[in-house]
Structure 1
Amino acid sequence: MPQDVRFELPFRTPVSEHLGYARERHLRWVWDMGLVRSKAGFEEYQSWDLPQAAARTYPYASADDMVVLMNWFSLAFLFDDQFDAGRPDRADRIAEVARELIVTPLRPAGTTPRVVCPITVAWTEVWSTLSDGMSLTWRTRFAASWGRFLAAHTEEVDLAAHGLAGTLSLEEYAEFRRRTVGIHHSIDAGERSRGFEVPPQVQAHPLMVRMRDLAADTIGFMNDIHSFEREKRRGDGHNLIAVLHRERGCSWEEAAAEAYRMTTECLKEYLELEARVPHMCDELGLTATQRLHVQMGVEAIQHWINGNYEWALVSGRYNAAKEGPAVTAELAGKGSVDDLLTV
């Protein structure tokens, strides 16, 4: 399944005018923080163009906030690539670092990490700024979403380390993917990017809960389609197409077609629910300001669905035809050319 598979999305989202300014400062920060440790690693990281992803998913952030969001954005991607299937002890270290990343938002901002490595030090710095000005309610919600994502990532690594990555059923995989894709806390960050908060009663409403889950499903499945060739090359079974191929005994082409259908069904249901948001606002008796914040919250979801899609079409991270240091590392059983889990 090629990277350039297209989906028909009913909304278009802008790109931040601060992309160039923020990209330059972000790349310098990544190097200075030791998040890339080699020329090959830096070239590989640049090819992903994560700054474009952040500029598309948080288009209204200020110039300085865009730098912060890009810095945060990089951490999950770089951490995700730290698994080395050739080292069985790696799963234990990933779990240790993940626990540190999970508890950072639960401590006073700026607290020195107890597990020290480039990823944890960088996250401590980023969280101090990312959380600034947001309520305890938002910080708690973000921390919960972030924690579920990292716990799921650790489970994924552990399954792979024990040779069990290809044992999940389709239903189990879909639920698991909703957590590993990391969209819930990413949507939460959309509020930070514009300095507003969706009212708690809206976040708890079944309509919004389902919308957020469907957005995660849609984005996760799109990502699986666009990244399939890269992950197949790595022998990574954490992919919807691979699960369908195994569970249904169908061809790769048939599995890809079914993955596409499932993705469009998720998007269709999301759009149906989005149309009911005004009724939800009436039901909850929201004020004009609260309704505006709900609208901005819906826009944050739209920015993620469309912005992530547009970025994935061109990112070097999913370019199966690309040769370079990442391909060499992957063929050797490594997810990254640089080790970021040790001092």
Structure 2
Amino acid sequence: MPQDIVLEIPFPARINPHTEAVLVRHMEWLKAAGFLSSDENIERYLTWRLVELAGRFYPDALEDDLVLGAQGQAFFFFFDDLFDSHLGESPAAAYRICYEMAALARQSPDSTWIKPSFPLARLWLDHWCRAQEGMSAAWRERAARHWEDFFLSYVTEAANRKSGALLGTDQYLKLRRLAIATEGVLDTAERCGRFEAPPEIHQSMSILEIRDITAEVVVLANDLHSLEKDQVNGELNNAILLLRSERSYSQDEAVREVRDMVHKRIARFQQLGHEIYRLCDDFALSAEQRAGTRRFLEVNRACMRGNYDWGRTTDRYSKVGIQHVKRSPRIEDTVAHTTERRPENIRLHTRQVAPAAVGSNPRSRGSRVGGNSVSGAKPTG
């Protein structure tokens, strides 16, 4: 099983001590909110171990903050699974839903111009409002941009899937590191940890590269762990499968190449970590700002290692998960039913929003990736 493949990720394996308590609260919330109603779907969801994943991503969070982190993980996976349907191959349908989500991310907290039109959007908006509490304007702007990029990436993926072209490995990683939601995980880690790295550090090339490395390590580990699930689901956009097609590798050769890619990125991450401490001197940062910078490096390490440890144990990618995929690629419950209305019938409450409000940022995925001739990478997870 690809889940057994060993990667050398030399960071400590950690998990939040509140994980079990948060699991109880998390499941009560999901059932009360109507997102899981049948025993079969509750059982399937539990096999994914998403609260454990949150516990690994946010090992130092207080219990209430870990509840927020677990809520975010539920959203990521539920939203991703929406596109295991006609949405995943319909650019127009994907745009209607993703534009709404991106517009919500850009809307000011006290505005009601844009209203969520389906339950999963309301779940996310509650999460987003809570996530912003106590965070700086710089953090809110950065996190909103990352959410906007994440949502609009699904439109790019749907449009490119529709074209039927296969990605090259480099193109795949460029798109996938933007779509896998690692940026949101790292932003949430600051919120759950009740700290922020200073804005000047976040704008440095070293930190931008570190974030990209973290995302790519997560992508590549995820592709190893989910290989069999992807094959059963008919998903061709997986680094192992792309390497086999692009370079005529055997599966063993492709797996070795992906392992080497991970290890090279980890080595580069370690090198950049030392450069960050030099930047702290260059910017004459205070002791508090330096502590925030150190903690941000730690959450990147926790993200890479936590995703790897979780990926080896979750049943989302195991034989159990593969059997679920054979029956249905997603949980057929309230989350899925919300989009069974054809999305062209969804009316977004966006008439009072200027067209430039969404996708106008030069770093947004819509402007950086949408025009490239690449096909759609698989969604997260």
CA separation of 1:127 and 1:9: change in aligned 2, threshold 3 A: same
1:221-268 CA-to-partner distances (Å, cap 9, x unmatched) read: 111111111111101122111111111122222222211111111111
Which 10-residue stretch deviates more, 294-303 or 276-285?
276-285
Q: In structure 1, give the amino acid aligned to 2:278.
A: H
What corresponds to 1:72 in structure 2? 72
Question: 2:281 maps to which residue?
Answer: 282
Q: Give me the whole-angstrom Cα distance separating, in 2, the residues matched to 1:171 and 1:247.
A: 11
Amino acid at match of 1:268: A
Letter in 2 for 1:317: R
Q: What is the one-letter code of the residue matched to 1:209?
A: L
Q: Per the alignment, in what secondary structure is the counterpart of residue 318 of structure 1?
A: coil
CA distance in 1 between counterparts of 2:33 and 2:97 reads: 16
State the Cα deviation string for residues 51-72 of structure 1 (Å, max 9, x = none). Answer: 0000111111111111111111
1:22 equivalent in structure 2: 22
Question: What does the per-residue CA deviation read over 1:283-339, in whole Å, with 9 as the maximum and x for residues that have no partner?
Answer: 221111111110011111111011111111101111145464433113xxxx44331
**SS of the counterpart of 2:226?**
helix
Q: CA contact under 8 A between 1:41 and 1:325: conserved in structure 2? A: no
Choose 144-153 or 300-309, whichever is displaced more. 144-153
SS at match of 1:314: coil
Aligned pair partner of 2:338 in 327, 330, 341: 341
Aligned pair count reads: 337
Contact map agreement 2:13 2:309 (CA 8 A) in 1: no
Contact 1:110–1:128 under 8 Å retained in 2: no
C-alpha change, 1:50 and 1:111, in structure 2 (3 Å) is: farther
Q: Which consecutive residues of structure 2, in runs of 5 or more, have no partner in the other structure?
A: 342-381
Q: Where does residue 266 of structure 1 map in the other structure?
A: 265
Find the aligned partners of 2:11 and 2:87 in 1 and give their Cα distance. Answer: 44
- Structure 1 pair 314/273, CA: closer, same or farther in 2 (3 Å)? same
Distance (Å, rounded) in 1 between the aligned partners of 2:31 and 2:260:
41
User: Which one-letter code corresponds to 1:235 in the other structure?
Assistant: G
Q: Identify if the C-alpha distance between structure 1 residues 188 and 133 changes in structure 2 by more than 3 Å, giving closer, same or farther.
A: same
Contact map agreement 1:57 1:308 (CA 8 A) in 2: yes
CA–CA distance in structure 2, aligned partners of residues 158 and 295 of structure 1? 39
Q: Which residue of 1 aligns with 2:209?
A: 210
Structure 1 residue aligned with 2:159: 158
Cα–Cα, structure 1 residues 316 and 150, in superposed 2: closer, same or farther, change >3 Å?
same
For structure 1, list consecutive stretches of 5 or more residues without a partner in the other structure. Answer: none
4 and 109 in structure 1: CA distance in 2 versus 1, 3 angstrom threshold? farther
Distance 1:253 1:89, change over 3 A: closer
Partner SS, residue 261 of structure 2: helix
1:190-201 maps to which residues of 2 (within 5 A)?
Answer: 190-201=189-200
Once superposed, what is the RMSD of the aligned Cα atoms?
Answer: 2.1
Q: Is the 8 Å Cα contact of residues 4 and 312 (structure 2) preserved in structure 1?
A: yes
Structure 1 equivalent of residue 123 of structure 2: 122
1:5 correspondence with 2:5: yes
Comparing 77-86 and 237-246, the one that deviates more? 77-86
> What is the Cα deviation at residue 163 of structure 1?
5.3
Does residue 56 (structure 1) correspond to residue 56 (structure 2)? The answer is yes
Which moved further from structure 2: 192-201 or 82-91? 82-91
Kept in 2: contact 1:119–1:340 (CA 8 A): no
Please give the alpha-carbon distance, in whole angstroms, between the structure 1 residues aligned to 2:96 and 2:268: 38
Q: 1:82 to 1:170 in 2, by over 3 A?
A: same
Match of 2:327 in 1: 328
Task: Tell me whether 1:171 sits opposite 2:179 in the alignment.
Answer: no
Contact residue 35 and residue 340 of structure 1 kept, 8 A: no
Deviation for aligned residue 1:91: 5.1
Closer/same/farther in 2, CA of residues 156 and 218 from structure 1, 3 Å limit: same
Matched to 1:122, the amino acid is L
Does the aligned pair in 2 maintain the 1:75–1:123 contact within 8 Å?
A: yes
Residue number in structure 1 paired with 2:180: 181
The code of the aligned residue for 1:101 comes to M
Percentage identity across aligned positions? Answer: 27
SS of 2:98 mapped into structure 1: helix
Residues 24-68 of structure 1: per-residue CA shift (max 9 Å, x gap) = 111121222232343332221111010000011111111111111
Aligned counterparts of 2:37 and 2:169: Cα–Cα separation in 1: 38
Letter in 1 for 2:338: L
1:120/1:169 CA distance change after superposition, 3 Å: same
Contact map agreement 1:224 1:240 (CA 8 A) in 2: yes
Asked if the contact 2:169–2:243 (Cα under 8 Å) also holds between the matched residues in 1, the reply is yes
CA–CA distance in structure 1, aligned partners of residues 50 and 88 of structure 2? 29
Q: TM-score, normalised by structure 1?
A: 0.91
State the structure with bigger RCO (CA 8 A, min sep 6), 1 or 2. Answer: 2
For 1:99 and 1:37, the matched residues in 2 are separated by: 28
Q: 1:44 to 1:92 in 2, by over 3 A?
A: farther
Cα gap change, 1:179 to 1:226, in 2 (>3 Å): same
After TM superposition, which residue ranges in structure 1, 4 or more long, deviate above 4 angstroms?
Answer: 85-91, 110-113, 321-324
